[in-house]
Amino acid sequence: MLNFLWLSLLMLLTVSVHSQTLLTQKIDKALNKRCLDKSQTSVSIVALPTGKVVYARHTDKPLLPASVMKIITTSAALHYLSPEYRFKTEFLYRGVRKENILQGDLIIRGGGDPRLTTEQLWHIATTIKDSGINEITGNLVVDTHFFDEYDRAPAWRAERSQRSYDAKLGALSLNFNTIAVHIRPGARLGSSLNVWLEPPAPYIQLHNTGKTSKRGGKNSVSVSRSEKVAGKLEIRVRGQRRINAQERVVLLNINNPTRYASETFRMLLLKAGVKINGETLFSKSSISAKKLYQYFSQTLSLTLKDLNTYSNNMTAEQVVKTIAAVRSGTPGSHANGLRLMSDFLDSSGVNLQGVKLVDGSGLSRKNRMTTRAMTDLLTSMFSRFDIGPDFISSLRVMGAYGVHSRRFAKSAARGKVRAKTGTLSGVSTLAGYVESKNGTVFGYALFLNNNRCGGREADKVEDRIVLAIYEYGE
């Protein structure tokens, strides 16, 4: 009997060693592509819940994490704010209400909500109208004290693009601080393009010189914004679009988020039947006023799910500043938010050697992260009953039905992978969890810096590694 037990143990050890060797061989082979910079490539894989290392390559090398940085922002937000936290936008007044007239000012106090939309503002405007207010004799005042004055992460370059991924920040924000430019071909050859803005804020002027071209002609429309006239924002549409082309929607970021949101709300109030006689003013100090209406966002856990699904940079940075505002006091700043995030990593048992946090989205090339630190965090979050389930559910299910689901769709690991992707020029990263065939869950972090593979080939390298983990221990 004793000999049988020893023989069984020896067989198990032999199988385990063989399986480990096979995993190492598969990963080493995947990392042997010539387009990879071997000195700038890092892989860390750990078994959960123990955190036992099953594969390690350059795990202490500080590298660019790209959007995998959002894993840190997401987990820190859940820790400091809780999964049930809701962003609050307040509508206040000072003065008196007499019959259908508010004799005084209407005040909007921004609370950092990154997902406030035109539809929600319309609902609020009609609610104010339904409450019995037809006229406001004073001003529309916007209280932005919740955040500091930086409309970007301080580590970012001052010169920003007009692309939607580069949107500015604001305590009061709308539509991710972007405006949608809808473009459709005209009814006949040579006619002007049909162009409209959503929302059509009154201070924004549309200049359309685009023309409709023949079938098979060029689709060469360009869209840009400028401020040539003080106080007016101009959006210019140039080029041509084929007569049989489908509608195209171009998203431009807005240069002044607070004005964009407040002017849109003012327009919606007027449409709802509420007239404001005064001006639109802005205050960086908290204003004492009486409550009229409060709007609460969806829960933070749902916001973070959208954040990681769409990898929205603006949302990530708003979350960093919200952590600071709630836990360190207003105005919320990146300096305080990033300090709290670093403290959270330290208290979670993450090895911080080589780690440098300069934003919450990973857009900056000044960030530094190690794959060891990332799998340390994944190990910690996996075992946290209070926020771990919300964190894991915030990561995309790769290959399953839904948004951005094509990756891993034809893989044997389909639906078994939770991941956050990251991409910058020459950088591809992937981190998250995968359940193997035998039911063991692994945490992994893959950083391919300074690679020349291109997006698809870098994805293939990462996918081969994740598939090898899925097959590990079979």
pTM: 0.93
> Distances in Å between the alpha carbon of 147 and those of 8, 84, 320?
63, 21, 10
pLDDT given at position 159: 83
Those residues with Cβ within 8 angstroms of residue 238's Cβ, 6 or more apart along the chain or in another chain: 209, 210, 221, 222, 223
From start to end of 99-221, where are the E strands? 101-109, 135-136, 140-143, 178-184, 194-198, 204-208, 211-213
pLDDT given at position 66: 98
User: Is the domain covering 16-84+300-471 a CATH 3.40.710.10 domain?
Assistant: yes
Average pLDDT, the chain: 94
Confidence of residue 346 (pLDDT cuts 50, 70, 90): very high
Q: Where, residue-wise, is CATH 3.50.80.20 in the chain? A: 88-155+256-296
pLDDT given at position 466: 97
pLDDT given at position 402: 73
pLDDT given at position 8: 55
Confidence of residue 444 (pLDDT cuts 50, 70, 90): very high
As beta bridge partners, residue 238 has: 222
What average pLDDT does the segment 231-245 reach?
A: 92
The Cα 318–Cα 324 span in angstroms is: 10
Burial tier of 6 (Cβ tally within 10 Å: 0-12, 13-18, 19+): exposed
Residue 198, pLDDT > 90, answer: yes
pLDDT given at position 401: 75
What average pLDDT does the segment 217-240 reach?
A: 87
Amino acid letter for position 470: Y
Burial tier of 285 (Cβ tally within 10 Å: 0-12, 13-18, 19+): exposed
Per-residue pLDDT tens over the stretch 6-19: 655 554 445 556 57
Confidence of residue 213 (pLDDT cuts 50, 70, 90): very high
Confidence of residue 218 (pLDDT cuts 50, 70, 90): confident
DSSP letter string, 85-129: ---EEEEEEEEEEETTEEEEEEEEE----TT--HHHHHHHHHHHH
- Is residue 105 within 8 A of residue 314, CB to CB? The reply is no
Residue 426, pLDDT > 90, answer: yes
- Is residue 134 within 8 A of residue 273, CB to CB? The reply is yes
Q: Where, residue-wise, is CATH 3.40.710.10 in the chain? A: 16-84+300-471
Between 5 and 330, where is the model more confident? Answer: 330
What average pLDDT does the segment 94-122 reach?
A: 97
Amino acid letter for position 448: L
pLDDT given at position 21: 83
The Cα 97–Cα 362 span in angstroms is: 48
Q: Which helix (H) or strand (E) holds 456?
A: helix 455-471
Q: How far is CA 469 from the centre of its chain?
A: 27
Q: What proportion of the chain, given as a percentage, has pLDDT over 90?
A: 88
Considering the segment(s) 88-155+256-296 as one domain, its CATH architecture is 3-Layer(bba) Sandwich (3.50)
- In three-state secondary structure terms, 326 is helix
